[in-house]
Structure 1
Amino acid sequence: MTPTTVLTIAGSDSGGGAGIQADLKVFAALGAYGTSVITAVTAQNTRGVDAVLPLPPRTVTEQLDSVLADFSVRAVKTGMLGTPAVADAVAEAAREGRLPQLVVDPVLVATSGHPLGVVEGVERLLPYALVATPNCAEAAALTGGPVTTVEEMVVAARTLAARGPGWVVVTGGDVAADGEAVDVLHGPGGTTLLRAPRVPTRHNHGTGCSFSAATAVRLALGDPVPAAVSAAKEYVTRALTGARDWELGAGRGPLDHFGWSA
């Protein structure tokens, strides 16, 4: 059977834990064929980002045109866009209806604090997103308000949903909630809290990328949004658990995308 095709538009992570590399691992692990458009090349590892080289918007558009001209893409996710000009190029494709079932992961700042995007660029994509998946820090940057509790996550999700996305998931892996990792899903049916046991591990680099990539795969395979998001959360929880005791790198290490430690 021909596999379902999914597209990621994001930056390259030389350490392999996030960005394009993580997205393609997730696509493969969940049974989809992955295609990619690289927006920037980064020099990074588990300890942080050492350098970023954004690609010209024209190069991003040429990659996008090439993929879409030849593959029947069923879902698309975006990650690091880097510059407002690249965000404009991607938003134009979305405006033209060329990016089906768009999942927008608003990557703004690396775990190390290195800037990887701008709020204005993400905001240009939000009206075209089927699902937006900010973490608490990204939700705070986009809304201008604090997002440090589950209650504030709910407010942020509703605020962002009013800007155009069909659904918003504010991921709360960094919010203390009685030993649980709580995500807030808001959409046409209201607000739902998604709960899973918190996994204590330093191997959590790329969780946002992996969550949004898994959501895109499940959408491509036909899941409705709530089911796709729930499946993505379960996948990331398993990947965190599998990598919990790994010793890869000296900083925040990658996830167990393929269940090697299951």
Structure 2
Amino acid sequence: MRIDIATLFPEMIENYLNQSIIGRARAKNIFTAECHNIRDYTLDKHRRVDDTPYSERQGMLMQCEPIYRCWQAVCSMTCSQPHVIYMSPQGKTLTQKRCIELSRLDSIFILCGHYEGVDARVIEKIADEEISIGNYVLTGGELPALVLIDSIVRMLDGALASPDCYEDESHFSGLLEYPQYTRPEVWEGMKVPSVLLSGHHANIQKWRHEQSLKTTLEKRPDLLKNYSLSKKDLSIITKLSGENDSENV
């Protein structure tokens, strides 16, 4: 996969992309990433990329031309048109399902806005979709872009030791992840669940699934609406709901 990022602050992106799992995946060429400073594509001698909006609103708005020229340069460089994503609080909220879909693409171009945002015309001209990482506003699109890149790259073949490393995680299956434990076996009087020490694989898998249902029910019950619950799952949830009601009496 190739990822191109259009930004005013390429250093922010580069520093993160060279760290930890993402950095190792990049070093192994599991994916390639290129940061493009939008200022390099302005025709203004002062390298300005923004101007005042046509309204009474305060602040500055990023102009179309430098962004468009940056996108054109990437298309020319790659001899293709990548899937363009504009990181925006107005976009659809990022989900694990969308991350999985994006991880299957050959190339994406991520546009990071700044100031009061981007002239709407260039978004209409080149963007395939807008993505938000939550119902709040940040100073720029760099942090959301990194969230998106991290969530995509970790699912590429070879980025993690095996698919199990992300398939068991929260949201991948539609449920939250079960609780996890490590040594020591007893800490502050709290013991690791005995089933995890049993070595009985089937029982451990059963416990993990039940705990995922329980965690999701307690922390994010809204997720259960979109999860295909089996009759056994419904029985477990009914039992858990009864236990929760008893505890609250």
TM-score (norm 2): 0.33
Which structure shows the bigger proportion of residues in strand conformation?
Answer: 1
TM-score (norm 1): 0.32
Which structure shows the bigger proportion of residues in helix conformation?
Answer: 2
